[in-house]
Amino acid sequence: METNTQKKQEGKIVKVVCSGGEDGDGHPKIYLTIGANEQSISCPYCGKVFKKSSAL
C-alpha cells in the first residue's frame, strides 16, 4: 500500500501557459508552474509575471 507524503497543502500549485506577447512575436508556448511555496513566477522568455492571486 502506498503512502502519499505529499498531502500537505500549505499552498496550491498553479499552472499557467505563456506564449509571449499578444503582438504575435512571442515565443514557443511553455508551461510554468507556480510552486506551493511561491506566489508568482516570471516567464524565462518574455519576463511576464504570473501571480497566483490574479490567476483566472
Residue number with CB closer to Zn ion (48 or 52): 48
Distances (CA, A) of 56 to 5, 16, 30, 32, 51: 29, 10, 17, 15, 10
Query: Distance from first CA to last CA of the chain, Å, rounded?
Result: 37
Window 19-38: residues binding Zn ion (CB under 5 A): 20
- Piece of the chain touching Zn ion by CB under 5 A; list 2-10, 32-40, 43-51: 43-51
Residue from 18, 34, 41, 50 in contact with Zn ion (CB under 5 A):
18
Residue selected from 36, 46, 51, 52 as contacting Zn ion according to rule CB under 5 A? 46
